[in-house]
C-alpha cells in the first residue's frame, strides 16, 4: 500500500524505466504469452501421457466377452420397437429386457417446466443395477446411453443400447465385481441425465422450480466413474473420446488415458476432437496439425457446454467420459461389436480395480493429441504473462497520476498523500463503477421480464423477445456514449481506467482457475485492445482512435457473440449470402436462448460471466474512451 501512496515511489530508477518502456513491455509480454501458448503444441513443450494410478492395471485385464451376436439380436429387436414408438422411448421393452437379465430394475420420472412459457414436459429414465457380489454396495460404476427416437435430429444411439444390454448380460454372470454397475438409459439427452443425477444425490443443480428431478426408488453405492456410450452403427471406423464437461470441467487424465489405451489395444482407430493422430515428416505441418487440435479443445471447453452426457457427472466429483463411434463410410478398416464390447469391458474392469477415488494424475490439462498432454503448470505461465501486461498498464497509469500530482516535493509524505487522495472524486468514481456492475446484474436477471413483456404486449416468441431486447440494450449503450459525450477530471477517468484494468486482470485469473480456455480466449481477444485504451485530455478524431472505437464496439459481448455464431455458420454451410445471413440470424437467437436456459437448468456459468463480469468491464472501458478529461 505504501508503494501506491508514497509520492517518491515514481522517482526510482526501476519505476522510471518501467514508465518509459511501459507500452513496449506490455505488448512484449502479450506477444510472448501468445507465442508461448502456440509453442505448447510442439512435442518438445508437452509430455507423453502416462498412468499415475497403478490400480487401474489396464495391461493385466484378461478380456472374456464376445458381445457381437448378442448385440445384433438386441439391436434388431430394438429397431422394431422404435418403429412402433417413433416419438418416445419403448419403456416396456427396455424394462422387460432388464428384468429378463435379473437386474434390479427401476424407472425414474422427471419433469421440466420451461422457464419462459411455463410449459411442462415429462420424461422417464430406465436403469438396472448389477449388485456387486464381492462388496456391500458402497461404490458403483455407471454405464449410460442417451435414447434417441427414430425421428431425432441427432445421430442414432440404438446400437449403443444394444451393446449396453449385451454388456449387462455379460456382467450379470461374473462374480469378480467389487462395485455395483448401473446400466442407465436416459431420455431427452442431457435433461434426463441431469434429472437422474440430481435425484441420485438429492440436490437441485439449477434454479428451483425448473427441472423437477423426482425421486429414485433404487440406488447403488457412491458413483466412482461413468462411461457414456454413443455408437451410431453396428460397425464403426473409429472411436472418439469426449471429455469436456459442464463449465469446462475435465475428467481425471488417467481415465482418458485408460480409454485411449484400451481402444488402441483392440486395433480400433482412436481420435480426439474428431481428429486422428497424424505424424508429418515436416515439423511445421506436424505442429500446425497438433495446434489445431489444441485450439479445437480450447474452443469447445470455453463454451462450458458438455460434449456429452458424461459432462454432467463432473460437478459431483465423478470422473466420466463419452465414447462415440461413427459408421463406416468409404474405404478403410472397420471394427465390430466384438472389439467394441471388449473395449467397454476392459475399461469397466479396470475401474473395478480402483481402491479409492481418482486423485492422482491431472484434472487440469490440455490435449494436442491422443497421447500427449499439457499440464496446468505449463499452460498457466503464458496466460500469466498476458494478464501481467494489464496489471503493468494499471500500475503505470497510477504512477503517472502520483508523479503529476506531486507539486511540492518538500511537503511531508503524509500531507502529500492526503492531497493526492483529495484530488480524486471518490464518490463519482465509485458511483460509476457501482452502476456499471448493477447494470450487468440487472441484465443477467432480465430474461424472464423481457420474455413476459414480449409475449404479452407484443405477442413475440421467446427467441424474438430476448434477441430484440438485448439488441436494444446494446444499441442504447453504444449511442449514449457516442452522442452524449462528457467531460470528466483527468484524475477521475484515469482512476476508472485503473480499476477496470485491475478488475479485468483479476477476473481472468479467477476464470482461469475454473475454465482456463474461456479465460484464454477472453485474454487473447481483449487484452491487446485494452492496452491501447488510455484517458485523453480532449476528444481526438485520429484514424487510430476511430479504429479503436470500432474494435471495442465489435468486442461488445453481444456483438462479439453474434459475429462468432455468424462465422461458425459461414464455415459450416455453403448457402448464398442472403440465406446465410438469415441462417446466422436464427442461429444467433437460438444461441442466446440456449445460453440463458443452460444457466437456469444446468447452472452453466457462460451467460452469467458474460453479462455480470465482462459486460460491466466493457462498459467501464467504453466510458473511458468516450470521456474528455479536463484539468
Q: So what's the pLDDT on residue 408?
A: 41
Torsion sign over Cα 326, 330, 333, 335: positive
Tell me if 251 sits within 8 A of 321, measured CB to CB: yes
Q: So what's the pLDDT on residue 412?
A: 46
Tell me if 149 sits within 8 A of 234, measured CB to CB: no
What is the H or E stretch that residue 415 is in? Answer: helix 413-423
d(CA 469, CA 596): 14
Q: Is residue 146 part of a domain?
A: yes
pTM: 0.90
Same domain, 37 and 156: no
Closest C-alpha to 504, from 626, 429, 614, 395: 614
Mean pLDDT by 10 residues, the chain (631 residues): 49 78 91 95 89 73 77 92 88 93 93 84 93 83 94 90 94 88 93 94 88 90 94 91 94 93 90 89 91 94 93 94 86 83 92 85 91 92 95 90 59 48 73 91 90 83 88 85 68 88 95 93 94 74 78 91 86 78 87 91 92 93 78 58
Same domain, 249 and 314: yes
Q: Is residue 416 part of a domain?
A: no
Q: Tell me, what CATH number does 311's domain have? A: 3.40.630.10
Q: Is residue 51 part of a domain?
A: no
Q: Is residue 204 part of a domain?
A: yes
Same domain, 601 and 570: yes
Same domain, 455 and 327: no
Same domain, 34 and 85: no
Q: Is residue 194 part of a domain?
A: yes
Strand order in the sheet with 365-366: 47-48, 372-375, 365-366
Q: Give the total number of structural domains in the chain.
A: 2
Same domain, 365 and 383: no
Q: So what's the pLDDT on residue 579?
A: 82
Strand (E) positions, 381-521? 486-489
β-pairing, 269-271 vs 236-242, is: parallel
Same domain, 513 and 384: yes
Q: Is residue 55 part of a domain?
A: no
d(CA 333, CA 346): 22
Q: Is residue 260 part of a domain?
A: yes
d(CA 443, CA 445): 5
Same domain, 166 and 221: yes
Distance of CA 413 to the CA centre of its chain: 49
Report DSSP state, residue 612. I
d(CA 112, CA 330): 42
- For residue 19, give its domain range: 14-42+379-408+424-629
Same domain, 456 and 600: yes
Same domain, 160 and 268: yes
β-pairing, 120-130 vs 104-113, is: antiparallel
Q: How far is CA 392 from CA 15, 19, 209, 398, in A?
A: 11, 9, 46, 10
Same domain, 147 and 221: yes
d(CA 146, CA 185): 6
d(CA 11, CA 193): 62
Same domain, 327 and 189: yes
Q: Is residue 1 part of a domain?
A: no
13 burial via Cβ count (<10 Å: 0-12, 13-18, 19+): exposed
Amino acid at each position: 500500500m505504501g508503494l501506491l501512496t508514497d509520492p517518491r515511489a515514481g522517482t526510482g530508477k526501476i519505476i522510471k524505466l518501467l514508465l518509459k518502456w511501459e507500452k513496449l513491455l506490455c505488448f512484449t509480454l502479450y506477444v510472448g504469452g501468445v507465442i508461448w501458448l502456440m509453442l505448447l503444441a510442439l512435442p518438445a513443450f508437452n509430455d507423453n501421457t502416462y498412468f499415475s494410478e497403478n490400480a487401474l492395471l489396464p495391461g493385466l485385464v484378461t478380456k472374456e466377452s464376445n458381445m457381437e451376436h448378442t448385440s445384433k439380436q438386441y439391436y434388431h429387436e430394438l429397431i422394431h420397437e422404435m418403429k412402433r414408438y417413433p416419438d418416445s422411448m419403448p419403456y416396456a421393452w427396455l424394462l422387460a429386457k432388464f428384468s429378463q437379465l435379473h437386474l434390479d430394475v427401476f424407472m425414474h420420472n422427471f419433469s421440466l417446466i420451461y422457464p419462459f412459457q411455463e410449459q411442462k414436459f415429462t420424461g422417464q429414465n430406465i436403469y438396472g443395477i448389477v449388485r456387486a457380489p464381492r462388496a456391500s454396495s458402497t461404490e458403483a460404476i455407471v454405464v449410460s446411453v442417451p435414447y434417441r427416437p427414430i425421428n431425432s435430429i441427432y445421430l442414432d444411439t440404438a446400437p449403443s443400447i444394444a451393446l449396453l444390454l449385451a454388456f449387462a448380460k455379460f456382467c450379470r454372470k461374473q462374480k469378480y465385481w467389487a462395485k455395483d454397475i448401473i446400466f442407465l438409459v436416459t431420455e431427452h439427452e442431457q435433461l434426463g441425465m441431469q434429472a437422474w443425477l440430481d435425484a441420485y444425490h438429492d440436490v437441485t443443480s439449477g434454479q428451483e422450480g425448473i427441472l423437477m428431478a423426482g425421486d429414485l426408488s433404487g440406488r447403488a453405492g457412491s458413483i466412482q466413474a461413468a462411461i457414456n456410450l454413443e455408437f451410431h452403427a453396428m460397425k464403426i471406423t473409429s472411436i472418439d473420446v469426449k471429455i469436456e464437461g459442464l463449465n469446462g470441467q475435465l475428467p481425471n487424465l488417467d481415465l482418458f488415458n485408460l480409454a485411449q489405451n484400451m481402444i488402441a489395444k483392440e486395433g480400433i482407430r482412436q481420435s480426439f476432437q474428431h481428429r486422428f493422430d497424424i505424424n508429418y515428416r515436416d515439423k511445421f505441418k506436424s505442429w500446425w496439425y497438433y495446434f489445431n487440435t489444441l485450439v479445437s479443445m480450447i474452443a469447445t471447453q470455453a463454451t462450458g457446454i458438455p460434449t456429452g452426457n458424461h459432462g454432467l457427472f463432473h460437478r459431483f466429483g465423478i470422473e466420466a467420459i463419452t465414447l462415440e463411434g461413427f459408421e463406416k463410410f468409404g474405404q478403410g478398416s472397420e471394427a465390430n461389436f466384438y472389439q467394441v464390447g471388449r473395449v467397454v469391458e476392459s475399461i469397466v474392469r479396470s475401474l473395478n480395480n480402483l481402491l479409492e477415488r481418482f486423485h492422482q494424475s491431472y484434472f487440469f490439462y490440455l490435449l494436442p493429441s491422443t497421447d500427449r498432454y499439457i499440464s496446468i503448470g505449463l499452460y498457466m505461465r503464458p496466460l500469466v504473462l498476458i494478464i501481467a501486461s494489464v496489471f503493468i498498464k494499471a500500475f503505470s497509469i497510477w504512477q503517472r497520476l502520483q508523479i503529476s500530482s506531486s507539486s511540492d516535493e518538500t511537503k511531508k509524505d503524509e500531507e502529500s498523500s492526503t492531497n493526492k487522495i483529495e484530488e480524486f472524486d471518490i464518490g463519482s468514481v465509485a458511483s460509476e463503477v457501482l452502476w456499471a456492475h448493477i447494470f450487468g446484474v440487472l441484465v443477467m436477471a432480465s430474461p424472464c421480464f423481457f420474455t413476459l413483456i414480449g409475449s404479452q404486449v407484443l405477442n413475440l416468441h421467446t427467441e424474438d423477445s430476448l434477441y430484440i431486447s438485448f439488441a436494444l440494450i446494446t444499441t442504447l449503450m453504444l449511442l449514449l456514449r457516442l452522442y452524449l459525450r462528457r467531460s470528466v477530471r483527468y484524475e477521475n477517468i484515469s482512476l476508472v481506467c485503473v480499476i477496470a484494468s485491475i478488475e479485468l486482470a483479476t477476473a481472468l485469473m479467477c476464470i482461469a482457475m475454473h475454465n482456463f480456455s474461456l479465460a484464454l480466449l477472453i485474454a487473447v481477444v481483449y487484452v491487446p485492445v485494452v492496452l491501447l485504451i488510455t484517458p485523453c485530455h480532449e476528444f481526438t478524431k485520429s484514424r487510430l482512435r476511430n479504429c479503436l472505437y470500432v474494435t471495442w464496439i465489435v468486442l461488445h459481448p453481444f456483438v462479439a457473440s453474434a459475429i462468432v455464431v455468424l462465422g461458425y455458420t459461414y464455415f459450416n454451410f455453403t448457402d448464398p449470402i442472403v440465406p446465410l445471413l438469415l441462417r446466422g440470424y436464427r442461429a444467433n437467437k437460438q444461441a442466446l436462448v440456449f445460453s440463458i436456459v443452460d444457466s437456469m437448468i444446468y447452472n452453466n456459468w457462460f451467460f452469467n460471466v458474460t453479462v455480470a463480469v465482462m459486460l460491466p468491464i466493457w462498459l467501464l472501458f467504453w466510458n473511458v474512451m468516450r470521456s474528455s478529461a479536463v484539468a
